[in-house]
Structure 1
């Protein structure tokens, strides 16, 4: 079930005064900004180019159930503003919340001299998401953005309308709000019994750009939350290009094992991809599903 912007706004405004930095706005001012933006459509110009570590890619970000859009003003310390390592961790966590798709779009407005700096930061941090480098300021011209950093990041629904506003990188309460909204939209997911027995802090990893025939190695944890040992019965993958195995089939109580995943794109795979790894356990009906996503060049 989708959560409406109106229903989110009621709860959001109730505690917005304590969740935003005191140096930004008073509670009344913050609530007014939230009311102004809730339900408003964010316009993303069609002629923006998506860049991943120097390569132009096709990025179908609008196919997701929810979209996180953040705007970065490239003036000043670009690296400080982008915070790519923190965003990478947060994106992986949001993508691990269940079967609700969440896409991420960072738009960096900078001049032509700053273009190479953004590419350098992507490569330095091995950032796995495409970024828009907006040298013409098209995004900010299309949306009357607040000058306050706290109000330049949005959680959008499938119609690109704002259901929450705030930067989850800077504020844990905003991060929790985003998670609650995304979790609330799940129509299909693991049952509570599965979650209470086995799980992982990260169920999805974005490996960024890879190449045909090149093997990428990815690691996940499988943790046993129960008071008894749990046995891995079977590990299956969604295609032959993906191999997965664990370092131990028995997960002792309150302990973890490592799930190793090797992904080698075939000669016909190109562009965005998604692969699944299903881990089945003895005595547990539903599998634990891991995902890897990225781009093949």
Structure 2
């Protein structure tokens, strides 16, 4: 069995969850602030990304961060291009930890229209995907946002996600389609039902033998995505925490059988740059245990 097959088998049937370590330029300052590093600590973007890479490295090298509970990790492009303990990051994850590397490929969002925020164009995507394959990356992730219940907007989001997914599939990578539904939207339940149907239509257009993954807000209606979890065209359905506390996100996730976590902020909640190694590992270990338990239902 080659590496890609091993990673596919692990992603499809392994127990655990996906660690989202893919904060980009827009979300990195907040992630660092929550970690105890405010904006006075850097004066250039390069320095900011160096600080967040140190945070991610501390997570990835922690004794608590193992394949027992962590199936995969989503990386920012700069993280993929960096090293951990002098080893390219994707190789470190797979060869040292047995954790599947996934790459965030979107470049952020355009302004809201029709109740949604579509992805910005992704220039040189083919080149980025080729580099990802060369680095040993298994799949990709791309995020867009549903702010309200607008059928035309939700249809446009699903169409854009699947269009780019086809380009990713052509490179032999497995795309994670992530149309996030804003948890604060008053009409979220209705928008999630429309989204479900649009994602179903997109699945029906997939070429035979192709698989995608979905990363979705934990739905208002429990088990809304149960049919996707059972669909052989869907390798995995994962949940984003979407602004919930870790406790609430885990409680909601546990009610959705077969759905596993792909948490970012909820994973790192409570971690501090000032933690001793023992404190850091204990906090991270407790977080990982809690998220893995919620993903096991």
What TM-score does the superposition give when structure 1 sets the normalisation length?
A: 0.25
What TM-score does the superposition give when structure 2 sets the normalisation length?
A: 0.25
Higher helix share: 2
Report the structure number with the largest CA radius of gyration.
Answer: 1
